[in-house]
Amino acid sequence: MTEKKTNLKVFISVDMEGITDVIHFDETSEKNPDYPYFRKLMTGEANAAIEGALAAGATEVVVRDAHGLARNLIPDELHEEAKLIREWAGSPLGMMEGIDKGFDAAVCIGYHAKASTPNATLKHTMIGLVLDVRVNDVSLPELGWNALIAGHYNVPVVFVSGDKAICEQANGIFDTIDTLAVKEGIGKACLNLHPNKSKQLIKTGVQNALQNLNKFKPLKYKPPFRIELYFKDEIKTYNASWYPGAKRISDLGVMYETNDFFEVMRFFKICV
């Protein structure tokens, strides 16, 4: 049975690599002549999520531009009922900048799989120098890390869209999450839905998730919190090992442990 919650406040984080038909890093960069087209597709999928949230009864929607320079979504083409966060503030919230305990749910659009995932489109974890991020022995894609940030504020991530690989990883991390694969990696190639079809499915998927909020729980791990960062560059590992309380655990790995998850977030921000 579906329900409409009154005064529903929804946070939407939008990345770009998981947007329909985006298949090359060039297409996600403002230096490429095709970038304006793909940022238009990104804005379209963000709008679909906003429309789904409003259809579910949302009275406030905040969208976080969470890719690259964080200046990708086209402001005057974004749904006028949404508020938009652009640029990086520099805080530990990163791709979830703006989230707080006042939100009822978070939605992630255009997300991608973690680094080294086979048959995944534009897979990576945060920056190219990161091999893996683990929290309490769980290897996380950006979706998982961002969901823990949301969970710190007691906000559940209820829906994610992106490629098939991130949907599979999401189902391995969350007890319950609604997923939508808008494309599927085939080596470096990618099988895509039509962009209009993706938008229809995103709107419906977000609406359905928000009308069934009771089935979702914030992603939280029990303290003590142990974060492990593995870098491609040994110098990056060396530098991170100087963070107060951090410990080098391998040639490329560094670990930090605390009972306060916000301190984990701060460690990640400074070291990555």
How far is residue 143's CA from residue 265's CA, in Å, rounded to a whole number? 14
Beta carbons of 108 and 131 less than 8 angstroms apart: no
Q: Is residue 152 among the annotated active site residues?
A: no
Beta carbons of 106 and 78 less than 8 angstroms apart: no
How far is residue 86's CA from residue 64's CA, in Å, rounded to a whole number? 7
Exposure class string for 12-51: b at 16+ Cβ within 10 A, else e: bbbbbbbbbbbbeeebbeeeeeebeebbebbbbbbbbbbb
Nearest partner of 28 among 146, 112, 118, 104, judged by Cα: 112
Nearest partner of 151 among 222, 56, 64, 67, judged by Cα: 222
What are residue 247's phi and psi, to 5 degrees? -140, 130
Instruction: Give kind and range of the element (H or E) at residue 143.
Output: helix 142-152
Residue type at 117?
T
Q: Which of 67, 112, 124, 152 is catalytic?
A: 124
Beta carbons of 78 and 43 less than 8 angstroms apart: yes
Instruction: Give kind and range of the element (H or E) at residue 203.
Output: helix 195-210
Catalytic residues: 124
